[in-house]
Structure 1
Amino acid sequence: MPLSNRSLRRGWLGLLFCAAATSAPAQVLINEIHYRPANESVAEEFIELWNFGSEPVSLDGWQINAGVRFAFSKITLPPDSGLVVAANVARFAELHPGVKNVTGNWQGQLANNGETIRLIDATGATADKVRYATEGDWARRVRGPMHGGHRGWIWRAAHGGGGHSLELMQPSLSNNHAQNWHTSVAGRGTPGRANSSKLANLPPMILDVIHSPAVPRSTDPVTVTARVIDESLAGVSIQLFYRLDGEANFWELPMARSGSEQFAATISPQANGQVVEFYVSATDGQGAARAWPSAPNNCPRLLYQVDDQTVAPGRPVQRIILTKLERDELAEIGRRPWHNTSDAQMSGTFVNTESGRTRVHYNIGVRLRGSTSRAAAHKSRRVNFPNDRPWRAHTAVNLNAVHPHAQELGSALFRLAGLPAPRARAVRVFENNERLGGASQFAHYAELDPLNSEYIRWQFPNDNSGNLYKGGGYADLKFLGDEPTPYAEKYFYAKKTNAWQNDYSDLTEFLRALGKADESALADRMDVDAWMRHLAVHDLLGNEETSLVTGDKGDYALYAGTADRRSVLIPYDLDAVLGTQGGTQSPLWRATANPALAQLMSRPAVAVRYWFHLEDLAQTVFSAEQLEPVIDRLVGDYLPRTEVDRLKSFAAKRSEFVLSQIPRELTVATGLAKRDGFFFSDSAMVTLSGQAPATTAVAVEVNGQTADWFAPKARWQTKVTLRRGLNRLLVLALDADGNEVARQHADVWHGDAPTRSLGQRLTRSTRWTAARPLLVVKPLVVPADITLTVDPGATVCFGPEGRLLVEGRLLAEGDEQRRIQFLRAPGTAGPWGGVGFSDSAYDNRIAHVDFHHTGSYALAVTNSVVTLDHVQWHGTRTNLIWFQDASLTVRDSVFPDLSHSEHVRGIGIRDGGELVFERNRFGTTSGYNDILDVSGGKRPGPILQMYDNDFFGGSDDGLDLDGMDAHIEGNTFHSFHKRNSSSSISAAIATGRHGEQASNITVVQNIFYDNDHHILLKQGGRLEASNNTFYGGMFGAIAFDEPLRELEMPRGARLIGNIFFGNKADLIHLKPLWLEQKWVWLHVFDSMIRKSHDWFGERNLAADPMFADAPLDVRLLPG
């Protein structure tokens, strides 16, 4: 907002704007930083800028763009004057009413553990930049509080929570160094006036101290270098002080200048294993002195250790160097009981060697870590780095001694599964030249990310300001109320970020939603799918840790961002995975021993995702094809072959076990006896139960009635009331959107078998009801002008000689839950005679009907009109439909597999009628038989129409069209391969002649794959094919002749917009002479096809169409 409106008092405003602004070199500096008020109120934060130049500076267009964000308006800063930029101008005015030079109301807040503040000018160039911190040179090394009988070392800074500010001491020297900053004398700092810590003569700043070589041998002298900055280096005296570990006094060496600001001194070679402590002191010409590092006399300063051993190539080497006194104290802590231990940290040096580079970090903190693992012989360590000098962006790492290879793999597998997890890698750890880790660690440790803000910044770079909670031994996901106090108790939810804020609202809102059945509220508080994937990873890892994910509490973390406030589950403690404990058959669903997770996972829509992720992960990330290379790459370099093989074996067996536990089929159990293919129930009430496909199903319906559902077992159960007769109970498994994923039927007979026959001829229109089963023992005629109506759910039984002969009209229309049953009479054997239609011009309809155990040609249609809808045949392997001069429409019906028979055979279409097959499923057949063998429909009259049917193969042809014109669209044909002794070839579609009539077929948008030939065009046939996919023809896609038979050649083919790929040949048995003499014409346009003949056409291409997953998915991928 404009400064003149709110931020400046009138008098100082006039002073600012009356001065003439200049574009002088950078002279406006960050002079004071108040980042952590005593009461933790971010509204009381401020940054003070000061113009140390001799000319006024216009701040118009300037910004603070790191740390916080603030854009300056038309402000001019006079020489030797300051401007306070306040987080909240109104609050600042309350606390500092006398300060007039104020602007502000910035966006964001200053970090409590340090960060970079950057000031840029109107051109975008950096005018000043300061990275402040709370440790190292920005703090004092002091003894910590007593903990378990030990105190250890900590960093303390009054500006880091004590309510003081940071003040620049000497503005003529760089403000980029902590040694030029000091804590304000007074609380709340000195905004608007001279800094209380300002000095005209600053003690020399000692920077960049390092010893070399980092790991000297006993023959190596060690050179210590330092960079020294002062107002004037003339007269500055630099001294190196060192002593051998255990000595009381330091030796002194003068440091000689080795560069403009560089000074060096050399320590003579020392004995192998010797620890050397040293520090640097500088005094200027006016007597101002500084020693670095600044520490109490009993606190180790800078350390190095002599080591003559040669470390073989391998994993990164992490060296910890401690004085004997401090290492003895650490060992003493290690001897305490794990439940009464201490987190007191020792002070030492850390030397990292990897990738040909060695890094040295001084003044680190080292302590023991872990809980029960502290009782083990090999202890885990926590290494803390001063936050002004992080190591590889880390201010801390954990060095874990428990099954490091399992932790490294566990972390990687979580991340390969697309889930967050702290990074882990195996390293070699030396402490005072002693290699840590025994045989059970394979002499390695796991270097892990601690749960802190640095991990969050790496894991969630775009949303890293939220709250991270580590769940302790009492953190069972139970809602404990709205107040933060119970959550902050020890062993509950330890805040690992923003700990200074007593704000647990994101956690309480999440736990409240988790404890309720309000799924809409829960969706805003957790990514349920990610949680289920997380639990699935634990189960595939075989995690045996006592933790939340195995039904207990603790050993997990939660993160809620500020942009995405949903609580993310983060794994912690992955040392008990991959068979390091437990076996390959640990049960699934262990997390449900936790009440909160049990309630969550009892919801079908949640459980199905757990099942899904188990299967998905077992078949991808945890499959041998993907996991074994990961094991080799990550841990194969340091593990013995036996352990690598054990890991692979465990993972394979665990995945196999997990997959075996996933219900995949829809099953139906009745507990009833079965005869003649049916269950029999004396009671009108029957209990059905079973399992459903666990990875997709969330509900089961039986005849439209929702069954009880038990998600952890994917089991269902319900009671159904039966009608007398045969009840075909439809069992549907449904997904979360209500779509069918599987179906089964249970055929249950209830009541006595019928004994009274219905006679042999109807004399009037009749309705057969579902009240009781009916019996037909002889052929029963439905005469002309008489209608037989069969009600939904009716059962009609036929004796061996029984059949229906329809000359009038048949209306047998059931529905999905009340299908009509036509079957042989109970207790009889052999087929019955089926249904015949003769000269019936009425609209005969057969819908939702099951034909059981019919004889050959269960449906015979002569000069009649019949519509079939949702019809199925059971218990038959012989011919199903025969027709002559009929109008026949068949939709949504299922044709079973047959043996040496044809599903449909016929000739001729009734005048004014149709021959339509739509959305049907055709099973296979065998021998020299086709699926449909039809003849005799020619344009302009009615022709065969095939829409959206699925053909599952056969041993001859799919459609054998002799003298039959056809429109074939949207169908799928596959698995047609010759398995007979004839001289003909096999094709999904074959043309031929019927008398003098040839076949002219239109083939549009069909998918052909895995056939001997997709189309056989012969005997004067014509083909119009557009937008089809011809894939994987074993011999050829389109054949124009049969080589073993003397046949008339076809007339020609027009191919437009088709895809030919993966066929042995795209066009086969087409003689070039036929095209040259124009006996056969061939037009090819806009297709993906290999050039094999001299056809007429253009815009064709021979290329890979890039199918998504042929042949199952022939969608085209981008590109």
Structure 2
Amino acid sequence: MINGMAMHQQLNCLRFASQVRPLIKRAVLFTACMITIWPVFGGIVINEIHYHPASNNVHEEFIELHNTGNEAVNLDGWSLRRGVRFDFPKATLQAGGYLVVAADADRFTAKHPGIHPVLAGWNGQLSNRGETVRLVNDNGKMIDSVTYADEGEWAVRQRGQKHHQHQGWDWLAEHDGGGRSLELINPFLSNRNGQNWAASSAEAGTPGAANSVFSEDTPPMILNVSHSPLVPRSTNRVRITARLIDEKNTGLNAVLFFRPDSAKVFQSMPLLDDGAHGDGLSGDGLFGQTIPAFPDGTVVEFFIRASDAQKNYRIHPAVSVPEGEPRANLLYQVDNTVADDSLPFYRIIMTPKERDAFLKMVRHPTGRFSDARMNATFVSRMSGKEQIRYLADIRNRGNGSRWKSPNNYRVDFPSDTPWQGVEKINLNAQYPHIQLLGSALCQQAGLLMGRSRLVRVRLNGTDTALAGYPMYGLYAHNDVVDGDFADSQNLGPVNIYRTLRTGSMEADFTYLGDEPEPYRQVYFKETNAAENDWLDLIGLCRLLTETPEEEFVAAVETSIDVDNWLRFFAINTFFDNRESSLSNGIGDDFILFKDLSSNRHMLMAYDLDTILGRGDTPGSPTAGLFKATEPAQASGHLTKPDQVARFLKHPAFVPHYFAELQRQAETVFTANQTSALVEQIIGGLTNETEIDRLNQFVAERREFILSQIPHKLTLATSLPVKQGHLVSATAQIALEGRADAIATRLITINGTAANWSAWEAKWKAAAFELQPGLNHLRVQAFDTEHREMDRLEFTVWHETGAHQPIDTLITSDTVLSASAGPWFFPGNSVIQKEATLSIEAGAMVYFEKNAQLEVRGSLRIRGESNRPVTLTVPPGTDHHWRGIRWIDSDKPSRLANVNIFSIATDAYAIQTDGSDLDLIGVNFHNLSGTAIQFSNSALVATDCSFETAVSAALPIVTGSGFAGDTPVLFNDNHFAATDRSAPLFAFDGQGQLNAWLELRGNRFSGGIQEAVALSDCNSFLWENMFHNFRHPESPANRS
């Protein structure tokens, strides 16, 4: 006990007198005549906060209010805001009384039985790192606000546990998961400073009662300590100031202890509030003193001791545990160097002893893996403005780069004094300009990414950066991806996992069971760690590993931000990122986000120091596009990126991956945009040779990637070509090719689906059956809506030798099968009225030069979509035949799935007079004349295609008259684009108004005359598509 007050280490005023008596005896104590008191008027104050229970159970959290006034206060309509949200019901807090607001009533009562009153059921949870708790009355006026923390003024320094045989500093705050609550010491002083708070003496706090650390007579609080100038020169004396706060305004003493790095013993000088020592006005509570100048490079260490008339004293910074003496002190360094204001300039200042220990550690074979943290002052200068943070922590960082020199730095700021809104920064020495460029490209590409900026760093005044490649005298200041990052990016509630492989495990989304322990080896929670809730990560791994195929796509789209994942892999593919990473087959060095609002997972790249052909393992412009799915060597074994491969190669997702690559190639990675960005970011900081290398790599990489994204339907075959035809001696052939990687969903060959590998953008038919003779093959590509996008048509000549001749006069029913062919009409031929000629699917029928088939009976061609019938001239000939003519046939004819080739220009492929004809899937190839001429016939044409070879002054289809009242129907046909100087479709109804012409669902793809010319008839035109029609004198690009 000191003056009746129990002294606890968390009060920042430890039992120090006996341990520093030699210093105190040498000090001359001066008493200030006046002190400014922070008045606290009687009222409701936030008095106790249990934000991090030892159990990590957020349901055990509570906040206690205390009425310090003399009157009861009605809390109806009041609320807690920030941190947690709670609206008070009708309740009154009596004068001097306590009121507990708990997260969960049942859990609180079980832990603290008999406490009344208790309100419960807030929304949210208290942060384990610290945050603001705000009390607002029914008018919205702020009554009290406390921003608590677990470091800095809210904790004390202690020696950390040894890590890889090295020891540094840590923060001790027993209210941070150590089983204690955070209690206000003196409710009649401001509760906005950590020096007026301490860990409770009682386990789990004292809710509903006076605080265990309560005192109305506390040591003076030592606030706002600073020195000026922040970076003194050897000619500067340095002013030290501090503000003292106490319950009384008499009897305050303050002593400054300081020593240069060359001294073993601290010197002491009084801090005075007399208006003559850089302390502002006399008696304003600001104490000051000026200390002598020191030589360039000197590191000065200092601390302050303040006491009051009752002999209560405090040391700032708080004495370290367990030494009980001031060892982690405030520092500054004398530096005559003029900072370069072209870039941010960071100074890291340690005592020479700790600096030497740090450098020895990072250069030691095992010490380089230590996370032991050294005490430092951090001074930043940006755009001429300087900021300082005392009591920062410095350690080595990285994984594979820890052994390199110069080393990287991790800088941690006390959680109650963040710097630029963050508590941690990384300063990386590995290819800093590449890291900055990678970050900028990711952000331009629309990928969630930590910020990077180039900075200059001095360690105790020494520039350790390499002057040329790969550092150019710079470090990369990179964001630490944690809760601060999430706040800066306005991500909302989010779970963040950092990943790091071990010697035998990767963070590759393999499902490891439902217990979190196996996942902890390679996934590390950067937010919400105290909740110990790993269900989201485990669920994601289960999804990617075990979801049945029929459920996979829906499950992925529900749980994964698919666009983000595809962009992540696309950008890293452009980079050819050679850092061990998820992007090259190793579950390492990436960040996983779980957006708790959308419940979707996102990916972010990490450590971009080996990209764009630079770094320790330079990449290649011609590296493949699916390295993320390929096993890679890692720690002596091959990885198994099965989960990533399942996602990225899936037919539902890989087309969008190709689309993302294409989009980035046409935007961010164009030569103009990339070169401009490179020049903007690193121009003047590196050299022209380095800039040219980067631009060249991007250009070559872009060209290669675009070459790997086919957009046309192609055929790759080793079959020989003879007289314009592919030739096969066997009845089975293998066919393969490529198709549009982005849009294609189905490939068919003569109507039968081929094998389509979406990630390879490759189609294949391993054993396609050929019929003897010429086989016409049509390969078609279809999109997601089953719309045809592209087609290939070619012939394969299956040479079998002889043709089977057909009688030129067919008088009885005759059948031509595919297996017995190919068949040959040696001249003009006639199907008599009593006869029917049937041609079976897959048959090949040849016609002699200028031969015509006349139909007076019936012609039935029974082709199938995958086995069409072909009508043409014999292979190896260059002549034409004159088509098929129906003359007053009284029997209907039907042609289905037929390919017609080599019709003479002055002939009609199909001519029908007074007959009944049904055409289904008839394809007219290389037309130089007219495909169909009909008169007074019952004609139906469905799903036919008309492809022209040369320009001509002839219509493709022409007709006149009806067969009585029977309509003529043309439905769902395709008329290819043509430059013919005639309408594509021309019909004269000759005034027959009892029948009609119907054109429905046809596609007219272009021309220089009318698509359809009708006269003297009833007609119905609907659902037809017309495009690319223009006047012959108009430019080709105008319709």
TM normalised by structure 1 equals 0.79
Match in the other structure for 2:444: 416
Match in the other structure for 1:836: 885
Structure 1 segment 236-255 matched on structure 2, within 5 A: 236-247=252-263, 248-255=265-272
Determine the C-alpha separation between the residues in 2 that align with 1:906 and 1:586: 53
Determine the C-alpha separation between the residues in 2 that align with 1:227 and 1:938: 108
Structure 1 segment 672-1071 matched on structure 2, within 5 A: 672-703=719-750, 705-717=752-764, 718-735=766-783, 740-745=788-793, 747-750=795-798, 752=800, 755-764=803-812, 768-773=816-821, 774-783=823-832, 788-812=837-861, 814-839=863-888, 845-856=894-905, 857-859=907-909, 861=911, 863-864=913-914, 868-882=919-933, 892-902=943-953, 904=955, 909-911=960-962, 920-923=973-976, 925=978, 929-930=981-982, 932=984, 934=986, 936=988, 957=1009, 959=1011, 971-974=1025-1028, 976=1030, 978=1032, 986=1033, 1011=1036, 1032=1038
Structure 1 segment 318-717 matched on structure 2, within 5 A: 318-337=346-365, 341-438=369-466, 439=468, 440-459=470-489, 461-464=491-494, 466-473=495-502, 474-475=505-506, 476-489=508-521, 492-519=522-549, 520=551, 522-523=555-556, 524-580=558-614, 581-592=618-629, 593=631, 594-596=640-642, 597-636=644-683, 638-669=685-716, 671-703=718-750, 705-717=752-764
Superposed displacement of residue 886, structure 1: 6.8
Amino acid at match of 1:861: Q
Match in the other structure for 1:258: 280
Superposed displacement of residue 552, structure 1: 2.7
Q: Secondary structure at the match of 1:872?
A: strand
Matched-pair contact (CA < 8 Å) for 2:925–2:948: no
Determine the C-alpha separation between the residues in 1 that align with 2:909 and 2:157: 97
841 and 230 in structure 1: CA distance in 2 versus 1, 3 angstrom threshold: farther
Match in the other structure for 2:24: none
Matched-pair contact (CA < 8 Å) for 2:165–2:367: no
Amino acid at match of 1:630: L
Determine the C-alpha separation between the residues in 1 that align with 2:837 and 2:449: 70
Determine the C-alpha separation between the residues in 1 that align with 2:736 and 2:1036: 40
In the comparison of the two structures, how many residue pairs are matched? 957
Superposed displacement of residue 155, structure 1: 0.8
Query: Which deviates more from structure 2 when the two are superposed, residues 928-937 or residues 111-120?
Result: 928-937
Amino acid at match of 2:460: N
Q: Secondary structure at the match of 2:711?
A: coil
Superposed displacement of residue 147, structure 1: 1.9
Matched-pair contact (CA < 8 Å) for 1:300–1:323: no
Query: Which deviates more from structure 2 when the two are superposed, residues 702-711 or residues 815-824?
Result: 702-711
Matched-pair contact (CA < 8 Å) for 2:498–2:589: no
Higher relative contact order (CA 8 A, sep 6+): 2
Matched-pair contact (CA < 8 Å) for 1:668–1:746: no
Superposed displacement of residue 712, structure 1: 4.5
Determine the C-alpha separation between the residues in 1 that align with 2:207 and 2:271: 42
Amino acid at match of 2:696: S
242 and 939 in structure 1: CA distance in 2 versus 1, 3 angstrom threshold: farther
943 and 26 in structure 1: CA distance in 2 versus 1, 3 angstrom threshold: farther
Match in the other structure for 1:159: 175
Determine the C-alpha separation between the residues in 2 that align with 1:414 and 1:864: 70
Matched-pair contact (CA < 8 Å) for 2:1006–2:1026: no
Matched-pair contact (CA < 8 Å) for 2:882–2:909: no
Superposed displacement of residue 325, structure 1: 1.5
467 and 934 in structure 1: CA distance in 2 versus 1, 3 angstrom threshold: closer
Query: Which deviates more from structure 2 when the two are superposed, residues 879-888 or residues 844-853?
Result: 879-888
Matched-pair contact (CA < 8 Å) for 1:730–1:816: no
Amino acid at match of 1:686: I
Superposed displacement of residue 755, structure 1: 3.0
Amino acid at match of 1:73: P
| Partner deviation per Cα, 1:891-933 (whole Å, 9 max, x = no partner) | 544333432424626766214677776655444556x834538
897 and 875 in structure 1: CA distance in 2 versus 1, 3 angstrom threshold: closer
47 and 97 in structure 1: CA distance in 2 versus 1, 3 angstrom threshold: same
Matched-pair contact (CA < 8 Å) for 2:260–2:299: yes
Matched-pair contact (CA < 8 Å) for 1:772–1:795: no
Q: Percent identity?
A: 36
307 and 811 in structure 1: CA distance in 2 versus 1, 3 angstrom threshold: same
299 and 741 in structure 1: CA distance in 2 versus 1, 3 angstrom threshold: farther
Superposed displacement of residue 957, structure 1: 3.5
Amino acid at match of 2:582: L
Match in the other structure for 1:1082: none
Superposed displacement of residue 97, structure 1: 1.7
Matched-pair contact (CA < 8 Å) for 1:421–1:571: yes
Match in the other structure for 1:175: 191
Q: What's the RMSD between the two structures over aligned residues? A: 3.3
Determine the C-alpha separation between the residues in 2 that align with 1:311 and 1:897: 76
422 and 937 in structure 1: CA distance in 2 versus 1, 3 angstrom threshold: same
Matched-pair contact (CA < 8 Å) for 2:255–2:268: no
Superposed displacement of residue 516, structure 1: 2.3
Determine the C-alpha separation between the residues in 2 that align with 1:903 and 1:229: 103
Matched-pair contact (CA < 8 Å) for 1:436–1:444: no
Q: Secondary structure at the match of 1:282?
A: strand
Determine the C-alpha separation between the residues in 1 that align with 2:912 and 2:581: 73
Amino acid at match of 1:685: Q
Determine the C-alpha separation between the residues in 2 that align with 1:109 and 1:428: 39
Match in the other structure for 1:142: 158
Determine the C-alpha separation between the residues in 2 that align with 1:880 and 1:220: 100
Match in the other structure for 1:312: 340
Superposed displacement of residue 662, structure 1: 2.6
Determine the C-alpha separation between the residues in 2 that align with 1:471 and 1:736: 39
Matched-pair contact (CA < 8 Å) for 1:879–1:898: no
Q: Secondary structure at the match of 2:652?
A: helix
Q: Secondary structure at the match of 2:622?
A: coil
Superposed displacement of residue 261, structure 1: 3.9
Which of 128, 144, 150 is residue 112 of structure 1 equivalent to?
A: 128
Superposed displacement of residue 314, structure 1: 1.6
TM normalised by structure 2 equals 0.85
